[in-house]
Structure 1
Amino acid sequence: MAETGPTTLGDLAFEVRSKNAGPFWITMELFMRDAEGYGIAADAAFLNERTVAELYGVDETRIQMFRIPSLNVVKISFPRPVGQGSLRDRDIHSGQQHVPLAMLPVPTAC
């Protein structure tokens, strides 16, 4: 029998996605399956600006978080490390940036 790892935000979500929010910002969205999962994702003690800053190496004062309980959605936006389409841009559509967020383990206390 295979071992299973810890529960992640991606396990609790219907969808986790990232995309451009203009050429200089990235937006990520957590579409949670239910109110219980939303409660975990929206818990500021667990998922906050500091957590996102550590995951993505950005200044936590530049991170914007929006919690939308009526939709069970958490939206996170922050500046891209480089402008879209610039020489060092490795993900022009920011479509792969959600992976560290989706893989974030949920604390067992949640």
Structure 2
Amino acid sequence: MGELALEVRSKNAGPFWVTMELFMRTGEDYTTVADEDFINEQVVAGLYGVDPATVQIFRIPALNVVKISFPRPVAQGSVRDRDIHAGQHHVPLAALVPP
């Protein structure tokens, strides 16, 4: 997916949530990636080990963007936090191979 996207990034959405964004180059690329059979709550839950019920996916066709949010496994800055800015969370998502 990293090759189809203009940018794939992750960041904190407060101390308890992570947000990832897929900025697609074209409307066709967006349609491929935004398909609910490709990106859905179960896929994200499998990649990140979270409960699918907690995953939120926002599809924004006017911008060719898919935004994904889910609770952080540990609070930002806590003793077990290995990525305080959530800047590396996007890697498994960027590695997905689109259909």
Name 2:60's counterpart in structure 1.
Answer: 68
RMSD between superposed Cα atoms in Å? 0.5
Query: What is the distance in 2 between the residues matched to 1:10 and 1:39?
Result: 15
Q: Percent identity?
A: 71
The amino acid across from 1:24 in the alignment is: F
Q: Give TM-score scaled by structure 2 length.
A: 0.99
Structure 1: tracts of 5 or more residues without a match: 1-8
- What stretches of structure 2 of length at least 5 have no aligned partner? none
| Structure 1 position 15 matched with structure 2 position 7 | yes
Q: Distance in 2 between matches of 1:82 and 1:31?
A: 27
Q: Which has the larger radius of gyration?
A: 1
Q: Displacement, 1:40? A: 1.0
Q: Quick one: distance in 2 between partners of 1:60 and 1:25?
A: 14
Residue in 2 that maps onto 1:85: 77
Q: Are residue 103 (structure 1) and residue 95 (structure 2) matched?
A: yes
Structure 1 match to 2:86: 94
